[in-house]
Structure 1
Amino acid sequence: MTTEQSAQRRGRKVCDPAELRTLFLFEKLTDAQLEQLCVDGRIETIAPGSVFREGEPATYFYVLMDGEVVLTKQSSGAEIELVRTEHRGAYAGAWMAYLGDKVEQTYNNSMQVTRSSQFFVLDAATFAELMHEWFPMAVHLLEGVFFGSRNINARIGERERLLALGSLSAGLTHELNNPAAAAVRATADLRDRVAGMRHKLAFVAQGTFDPKSLGALVRLQEEAVVQVAKAPELTPMEAADREDLLGEWLADHGVDDGWNLAPNFVQAGFDINWLEQVASTLDNATEQVFHGAIRWLNYTIETELLMNEIADSTVRVSALVDAAKQYSQMDRAPFRVADIHELLDSTLVMLNRKIGDDIRVVKEYDPALPPLPCHAAELNQVWTNLIDNAVYAMQGAGTLTLRTRHDDNCAIVEIGDTGPGIPTEARSRIFEPFFTTKPMGQGTGLGLDISFRIVVNKHNGDIRVDSEPGATTFTVRLPLHRPEPSRIATGADTGPTVDGHS
């Protein structure tokens, strides 16, 4: 059966093998192969409008013969134009059909024609069959490149995550060590103070205090405990002035080491009026009894202060552990609805040591921002990369700004720094894999690439940068309403452009 007879039998426009040979995609095929294409495919004229939509089942492979096509992709609810071309031979559609069920066979972008355009159209299953029949070695090579590249990207991404985790673990270890060491020191000091109180208790048991004075002393002790709990915050200057006054008062009343006791009384919020109350309560007591009472109260104050320090330290340790769990999303579903502010805050805690004391952190959160359906642990990796880059750019001093807002069904996260800015020639390349402006050995060039993949490919979002000297801001847009995760591309590959190039 001739090509023309076959076409007429199927009700298709006649396909001319010689015309197909003029397309770069088919120019090296044999006459028999071109004849076969004309038997299996068809020439179709498509009116202006949509040809296929992103996410639909990929059923046809299209090769442009005449006209103009536009490829677009969804990003943050907006249609982003990828390619616009009139180039004969440009192809799009089910180009990954040769991979079969090894990958999801859906259109990874949308195609429309701007004017009446002519295509050579081939059924996806036929395209896959011809690829395997005509180019078996090429298919194996392409499969190897496709899956090898995806595996390499996954491994590199995993290594990047492990490197980041190692750095964060070192910082977290340091952060945990401080309150843990403080708790250990406070516990040791508390043991000494309790021993001192036992000694004073033996002193009281000797009958040194009459019942009335002892009762008054116990009441003062209870007042001291309550006062420690509500001690005011003093500036260093205010504390020093009070310590001088209390030290002088204790010295005037014969307490030899009053200068050592004064800081404890000041830290607990006591002043001379309270010490005068102690003196009047023990008005008829001997000097030995008075001094013993002062030291007894001092031990009481110290034990309360030390127990507060232990409590603060353990609370800090617990908060760090909670932040680490929030950051890693331990015991959480990979995809869930999360509070984006909690994710940002946990990242700040994990990076606290790297941020340091000379970088001011400004948080401008939108309290009305609703929870976000997301891969929370992976978004934390994005925040880590962006904050880490901002801190590096500021070289340890400046202002780090985290801002959130709600815009057009999207959550907007802005991370800004006051560093020197990104060089103009580098701005168009910063999301390329392995591109970095950092010195050799200080950057892999993968942080922003991975962030881009997570935001754009994994969350259907968008990430962009605005930079000038003294003000660089990365803006991340994340849709507040998400499709099922199974409908979201998980790889980094977006397919070739409409002219057939990656």
Structure 2
Amino acid sequence: MPCSPGEIGALFLFEKLSPEQLGRLCAEGRVEKFDPGPVYAEGDPATCFYVMIEGTVVLSRRVGGDDVEVVRSSQRGVYSGAMQAYLGDRVPQVYTNSMRVTEPTRFFVLPAQSFADVMQEWFPMAAHLLEGLFFGTKNTQRAIGQRERLLALGSLSAGLTHELNNPAAAAVRATATLRERVAKMRHKLAVIAQGSYSPETLAELIEIQERTAERVAKAPVLSPLEASDREDEVTDWLDDHDIPDGWRIAPTFVQAGLDVDWLEQVAAAVAADILPGAIGWLNYTVETELLMDEIGDSTTRISHLVDAAKQYSQLDRAPYRVVDVHELLDSTLLMLSGKIGRRIEVVKDYDRGAPKVPAYPAELNQVWTNLVDNAVFAINSAGGEGTLTVRTAREADRLLVEFRDTGPGIPADVRDRIFDPFFTTKPVGEGTGLGLDISWRIVVNKHHGGIHVESVPGDTRFQVLLPLTAPDPEDDGPDDENVITEDRASAEEPV
């Protein structure tokens, strides 16, 4: 269709251009009419810059396998297409959205190279400023994103160090005490061996020692009141049988699951004159068994922490695989337990029957970290006591992972901006504003899922929806490094 300099000069984008400039645009561009339907598709090579003269245009973004509408406009002069052509081959020149028209629509269409040329020739300062803004923003976002990851790593490392220190210190203390008890047991055994005990008596003592060790391994867990009552009974029995330091021995016996009936069996098996020595020797046996149990529990705890760290980092795993989300959630909560603290109750409401999902597990762990960190911050800002509930459930063909906190909530006037890069409600120095931005990119761009927030005071829920099946390769949207402008609200899919 013929291009009229007067017509395109009336569009707000070109209204300040000279007649010569308008003439050049008409000479290098064209006016084209499109019937209802697609104009270009997201991810295709960006060959043209489009300015609408009349009609209705719809822009959409691909989220998972769906096209989500982000803009619909009938305003003359709205534009789209090869908007970064002036940057040349320094960025991938592809359309970052899809455009269609809903009625016969006319566009002024300028080839991408012509758009780049006029930008560089007519607006050199503006082009340099836009170029600096574009790359400066990308570099700043990358640098702060890396810093946020390092800060998160430092926080996790501190928490892991704290968690490892407790069982390690307990194992060291138990080992030192165990060495002391074994030395005393050797001494007591030497004393018994020097006595006038028959082989039958010694055999009986050894059999009692074996039975005692078995009972320690099966010791029941008593309530404080039950333990106190049993200690009183055992202490009275020891005193009645002239066993020295009965008050000190009784708590150890009770902890090991030994009671008065067991003591009566010991008394029936040995002579009265050697009962005190036998009880003392068995006390050392009980103590060594308990200490070995403590060492075993501590080292098992350390092993579980190391496994959780490996699970969290995914250092020895494939980057993309089918995973049990609950394992990822557990490892993240364990890694962040030091930061969560004891004043925040963590509730796991898992649907263990939910299927596994194809995912990038290390990156999902980063999402969980960001969401848990925000929940903890919110609860702490409201006094430091509250509940963090992590819930999973199957929602049709997707898996829901929900993080719910009892913090003060997100104000309605900023709720639509929380996924924007660099936006944060935290005080200066406490947040970079990239945690939710990174989470959005990971969930939506890499996993073709959705992330949504619902919030009222005392009840804020971040809901992540992950597909149960891997997307087809041709459904993949542009890589997050190539996405220039995004409408984050479009990715929120209510549950």
Aligned to 1:490: 480
Paired residue for 2:137? 149
Task: Read off the aligned partner of 2:144 and give its amino acid letter.
Answer: I
Give the superposition deviation at 1:211: 0.6
Q: Which one of 293, 306, 315 corresponds to residue 321 of structure 1?
A: 306
Q: Residues 355-408 of structure 1, C-alpha deviation per residue, up to 9 Å, x if partnerless? A: 223322222223343333333323222212211222232233222111122324
In the alignment, is residue 70 of structure 1 matched against residue 55 of structure 2? no
Q: Which of 98, 101, 105 is the equivalent residue of 1:110? A: 98
Q: How far apart are 1:137 and its partner, in Å? A: 4.9
User: Could you list the per-position Cα deviations for residues 69-110 of structure 1 after superposition, in whole angstroms to 9, with x for gaps in the alignment?
Assistant: 011123354433211111222111222233333323322112
1:150–1:492: 8 Å Cα contact kept in structure 2?
A: no
C-alpha contact 2:64 2:471 (8 A) present in aligned 1: no
Long gaps (5+) in structure 1:
1-12, 498-502
Of 177, 180, 187, which residue of structure 2 is paired with 1:192? Answer: 180
Paired letter, 2:26: C
Counterpart residue identity of residue 495, structure 1:
T
> Residues 483 and 33 of structure 1: is their aligned pair in 2 closer, same or farther, counting only changes over 3 Å?
farther
* Contact 2:40-2:98 at 8 Å conserved across structures: yes
SS of residue matched to 2:455: strand
2:361 aligns with one of 352, 376, 401: 376
* 155-164 or 421-430, larger mean C-alpha shift: 421-430
Aligned residue runs from structure 1 range 301-450, under 5 A: 301-395=286-380, 396-450=384-438
| 1:61 is aligned to 2:35 | no
Q: Alignment partner of 1:143: what SS? A: helix
AA in 1 matched with 2:256: A
Amino acid at match of 1:310: I
- Counterpart amino acid of residue 391 in structure 2: R
Contact kept, 8 Å, 1:76 with 1:478, in 2: the verdict is: no
CA–CA distance in 2 between the matches of 1:61 and 1:496?
A: 18
Change (3 A) 1:271 1:186: same
Q: 1:238 and 1:286, CA in 2 relative to 1: closer, same or farther beyond 3 A?
A: closer
Write out per-residue CA displacement over residues 267-292 of structure 1, whole angstroms, 9 at most, x where no aligned residue: 1111111111111110xx252x2111
Cα distance in 2 for residues equivalent to 1:49 and 1:187: 76
Contact 1:76 1:477 in 2 (8 A): no
Asked if structure 1 preserves the Cα contact closer than 8 Å seen for 2:379 and 2:407, the reply is yes
State the 1:319 CA deviation.
1.0
Give the letter aligned to residue 89 of structure 2: D
Moved more, 65-74 or 406-415: 406-415
Q: 1:297 aligns with which of 271, 282, 294?
A: 282
AA aligned to 1:24 is: F
1:170-249 counterparts in 2 under 5 A?
170-249=158-237
Residue of structure 1 in register with 2:493 after alignment: none
1:422 aligns to what SS in structure 2?
A: coil
Deviations 1:212-237 (A, max 9, x none): 11111111111111111111111111
Deviation of 1:135 (Å): 4.6
AA at the equivalent of 1:329: Q
State how far apart, in whole Å, the 2-side matches of 1:466 and 1:63 are: 37
CA-CA distance at 1:36 after TM superposition: 3.3
| Distance change (3 Å), C-alpha of 1:80 and 1:41 | same
Q: CA 1:222–1:209 in structure 2 vs 1: closer, same or farther (change >3 Å)?
A: same
> Over residues 92-138 of structure 1, what are the superposed CA-to-partner deviations in whole Å (9 max), with x where a residue is unaligned?
12222333333233221121111110011233344345544555554
Give the drift of 1:15. 1.6
Alpha-carbon distance, 1:151 to partner = 1.1
Cα separation, 2, equivalents of 1:469 and 1:248: 57
Tell me how far apart the structure 2 counterparts of residues 29 and 394 of structure 1 sit (CA, whole Å).
55
**1:475 aligned partner, one-letter code:** Q
Q: What residue number does 2:241 align with? A: 253
SS of residue paired to 2:317: coil
Matched residue SS, 2:413: helix
Q: 1:18 aligns with which of 2, 6, 30?
A: 6
Query: What is the rounded CA distance, in whole Å, between the counterparts of 1:496 and 1:137 in structure 2?
Result: 26
Deviation at 1:248, TM superposition (A): 0.8
Cα distance in structure 1, aligned partners of 2:482 and 2:235: 70
**Structure 1 range deviating more: 91-100 or 451-460:** 451-460
Q: Sort the Cα spacing of 1:486 and 1:320 in 2 relative to 1 into closer, same or farther, 3 A.
A: same
Aligned to 1:500: none
Using the TM superposition, give the Cα deviation of residue 493 of structure 1 relative to its aligned residue in structure 2, in angstroms: 4.3
Write the letter of the residue equivalent to 1:489: D
Gaps of 5+ in 2: 488-495
User: Which residue of the other structure, out of 150, 168, 181, is the alignment partner of 2:156?
Assistant: 168
TM-score, with structure 2 as normaliser: 0.90
- Distance, in Å, in 1 between the alignment partners of 2:476 and 2:419 is 25
Partner Cα distance (1:496, 1:376) in 2 = 24
The structural deviation recorded for 1:447 is 2.7
Mapping 1:64-143, distance limit 5 Å: 64-132=52-120, 134-143=122-131
Identity in percent: 61
**Distance in 1 separating the partners of 2:37 and 2:224:** 73
Question: Structure 1 residue 63: deviation in Å?
Answer: 1.2
Shift of 1:492: 7.8
Is 1:455 the equivalent of 2:440? Answer: no
TM-superposed CA distance for 1:55, in Å, is 2.5
Cα 1:313–1:492, aligned 2, differ >3 Å: closer, same or farther? farther
- Name the SS for the 1:424 alignment partner: coil
Alpha-carbon displacement from aligned partner over 1:162-184 (angstroms, at most 9, x marks no partner)? 11222222221111110000000
Corresponding residue for residue 476 of structure 1 = 464
CA spacing shift, 1:37–1:225, aligned 2, 3 Å:
same
Q: Give me the CA root mean square deviation.
A: 2.4
- 2:312, 2:362 within 8 Å by CA — same for their partners in 1? yes
Partner Cα separation in structure 2 for residue 413 and residue 177 of structure 1: 31
CA distance in 2, matches of 1:439, 1:134: 43
Tell me the secondary structure at the aligned position of residue 367 of structure 1: coil
> How many residue pairs end up in the alignment?
482
Alpha-carbon separation, structure 1, partners of 2:126 and 2:377: 45
Cα 1:438–1:150 change in 2 (3 A) is: closer
